[in-house]
Amino acid sequence: MSAIKRPKRAATLQPSMLSAMEVAPHVRRIGTGAVNVYLVEEGGEVAIVDAGLPGQWDDLSDELAAMGRTLADVRSVLLTHGHSDHIGFAERMRSERHVPVWIHEADAALARGEVPNPARGTGPIRPLPLLAFLWLGLRKGGLKRPVVREVSTYGDGATLDAPGSPRVTLTPGHTPGSAVLHSEAYEVAFVGDAFATLAVTTGERGPRVAPFTADAEQAIDSLSRIERLPAKVALPGHGDPWTQGLEAAVSEVRRRGVPGRRGTPRG
């Protein structure tokens, strides 16, 4: 892939300026926080960042219409990692709309369904939040593992030829190919599950290691690679936008440490 010229810097995020589903300038969200899909618009073209659950396809056209766009304007699907609740409708977009699906090379086999999910347990659980998450999966077709039959791959440090010109930072731990996509132009970081602001297994909020992480210690260590990125808004796969800067988010994840483990927080 080649780098492309970045657009003019966007205005500072002002929550009062944003509609209910617009979470940053040029960025809209599908989902209410449990499982997020993001749409990035630039120059009449759209990139989808993470494809959520299969049934979230049903909300895609309406959200595109709110941007003044249609399915014909979608140019790429960018996946932060290969878990099933992030690749949900990616194969449909690829096979029906001929839109390329991009993922870090270390998670390509996971997205294609060729290797087992590397997640190691859930961490702490509270029954009601977990049941709500499972019910969402049931309603949105997420209980059967989706796959993407063909993927294109990116590497660490690549600048993607997509709306917002996001730059890739590999943050292994949640999965081997977990990545953060940082749009410097829009001062937004799509963090995937590098950290979450909602633990879907407990209902707890605030930056923390995401449930279903393969290697929690590695995930925390990897955050040193993003804590200095100049992003005013961090958009996670699970939870609400974080607007206090990545350094503060990383500090909070370290303070909480590995889920379920007592002792001195990481830092």
Which ranges of the chain would DSSP assign to H, the alpha helix? Answer: 57-66, 90-97, 108-111, 127-139, 216-222, 246-256
Place of tokens 């766009």: 69
Query: What pLDDT does 4 receive?
Result: 37
> Across residues 28-39, what is the average pLDDT?
95
Q: Taking 90 as the threshold, does the pLDDT of residue 20 lie above it?
A: no
Using a pLDDT cut of 70, give the percent of the chain over it: 90
State pLDDT tens for residues 120-160.
Answer: 878 899 999 999 999 999 999 987 899 999 999 999 999 99
182 with 166: CB under 8 angstroms?
Answer: yes
Question: Which residues of the chain form beta strands (DSSP E)?
Answer: 22-24, 27-30, 37-42, 45-49, 74-78, 101-104, 152-154, 167-170, 179-183, 188-192, 196-198, 205-208, 233-236
Query: What pLDDT does 19 receive?
Result: 44
Q: How far apart are CA 219 and CA 221, in angstroms?
A: 5
Query: What pLDDT does 123 receive?
Result: 83
What value does the mean pLDDT of the chain take? 91
Query: What pLDDT does 203 receive?
Result: 97
State pLDDT tens for residues 36-86.
Answer: 999 999 999 999 999 999 999 999 999 999 999 999 999 999 999 999 999
93 with 52: CB under 8 angstroms?
Answer: no
Query: What pLDDT does 260 receive?
Result: 79
Q: How far apart are CA 153 and CA 147, in angstroms?
A: 15
Sort residue 68 into left (φ over 0), alpha (ψ -120 to 50) or beta: left
State pLDDT tens for residues 167-200.
Answer: 999 999 999 999 999 999 999 999 999 999 999 9
Q: How confident is the model at residue 116 (pLDDT cuts 50, 70, 90)?
A: very high
Q: Which residues pair with 36 in a beta bridge?
A: none
* SS3 category, 133: helix
Q: What is the pTM of this model?
A: 0.90
Query: What pLDDT does 262 receive?
Result: 56
State pLDDT tens for residues 227-263.
Answer: 999 999 999 999 999 999 999 999 999 999 999 775 4
Place of tokens 């989706």: 146
Query: What pLDDT does 142 receive?
Result: 82
Using a pLDDT cut of 90, give the percent of the chain over it: 84
Report the relative pairing of strands 179-183 and 188-192 from DSSP bridges: antiparallel
